[in-house]
Structure 1
């Protein structure tokens, strides 16, 4: 009889275990110290993305610079270029292999390249989707996705499950870097009644759907001790209940010491 009132878990067991294992992978390979000391939950507010801009290019650059800083990659040779420039220069789409001293992210990161081949560049180029200028959370999330993908490529260590789970790991790693609210809010785009305001070209590519992204966000907040109300104020209304449930589930696991990864955080 009591089982009738037992709350069902947020996700199926295999998905939950993959998220926990992949978060452990992120903690081990993408700077635990940076996560503990400097990573903050990035919110869609003027506190994180202040300032006025006068053009699409200025907007794209401003958001890029701040997102790069929040991701802990400001010491990396990553440069924003226009979509046309990026598309017309295949060489820019090749990611050089970089070397690191001290750390891969944060102020301690020292980045250099040993590639001295003819025409080789140590710069990593990233572009943007002009359609996302009016959807800033998608723009931020797309940049964070690009940075997470670059990080995984440079580290060269596959996530749990192997290469076939790389796209999902990119989304999780972006949440690990503090962009979980943006990712949860942009995981699903409602097309609306007539679709007249819906622009599919402005949406970011999604690997982890809403429920999984909310769970990743909740895990981040449990690890960092972020208050629930600090998050729910900035989530889409239909995600708030799920976030609270996921937070409680994960916090209960923490209290019962069923999250071994927390021992390292």
Structure 2
């Protein structure tokens, strides 16, 4: 009888486990030291994106530069090009002498060419989608470079890219852009501006809450869309219980190192 009044989990057990396993995979493969010591939760505000711009191209360039910096990929040979300049390309080999991300990251040998990425001009009026799309692209490049498949294998690469984008610190904007409301009459709704999400809203929020837990974050919740905040709060509660009962030594070690 009492079971009728128990709160339904945000995700089923299989979904939770895949996201936790993917988080562990990300920590193991995408520079845990940088995650612990340098990663920050990137917010959709003027403090994180202070640049004044006067054109579509300048906005795309400034946002891309910020996203690359927050991801810690300054040393990576990745170049932003105009949409009409993007051509099919072969991914070059990267080799780093020190850490994978951050100021101490250095390429041992310059690759044969840079990796070109572009942007969706429709997203200029939806900057959170622009940021999230860039973050997802960088996550995909990192996964390609490391060459280690995520839990579940190749078919889960799109979902893993969304998860790694959250791991890089972009969980607020990844969560906010899973689904865009059409608005009252739909006249301002532009479906071509929306990013293509591979994780659902609850899945993305769970991954973001997982990152927030280990980063000791207490501020990002207020930057989520209002309808997401109760789900995020539920994810936080569930994650705290899961980590407290976890047998994974990496999770326990990260929990000991977290800030706050």
TM-score, normalised via structure 1 length: 0.92
Which residue does 2:44 correspond to in 1? 44
Structure 1 residue 257: Cα displacement: 3.8
Which residue does 1:118 correspond to in 2? none
Structure 1 residue 96: Cα displacement: 1.0
Structure 1 residue 260: Cα displacement: 4.6
Which residue does 2:140 correspond to in 1? 149
Structure 1 residue 251: Cα displacement: 1.1
Which residue does 1:208 correspond to in 2? 199
After TM superposition, list the pairs within 5 Å mapping 1:192-203 onto structure 2: 192-203=183-194
1:174 touches 1:180 (CA, 8 Å); kept in 2?
Answer: yes
Q: Deviations over 1:148-169 (max 9, x none)?
A: 0000000000000000000000
Number of matched pairs = 254
Out of 196-205 and 100-109, give the one that drifted further: 100-109
Name the Cα RMSD after superposition: 1.5
Taking the aligned partners of 2:142 and 2:84, their CA distance within structure 1 comes to: 24
TM-score, normalised via structure 2 length: 0.93
Q: Are residues 195 and 260 of structure 1, via their aligned partners in 2, closer, same or farther at CA, if it must alter by over 3 Å?
A: farther
Matched, 1:100 2:96: yes
Runs of 4+ in 1 over 6 A off after TM superposition: none
Which residue does 2:13 correspond to in 1? 13
**Structure 1, gaps ≥5 residues long:** 116-120
Q: Deviations over 1:197-223 (max 9, x none)?
A: 111111111100111001011111111
**Structure 2, gaps ≥5 residues long:** 255-260
Which residue does 1:179 correspond to in 2? 170
Taking the aligned partners of 2:8 and 2:147, their CA distance within structure 1 comes to: 37
Pick one of 94, 106, 111 that aligns with 1:110.
Answer: 106
Structure 1 residue 193: Cα displacement: 3.7
Which residue does 2:243 correspond to in 1? 254
Q: Give the 3-state SS of the residue equivalent to 1:48 in structure 2.
A: coil
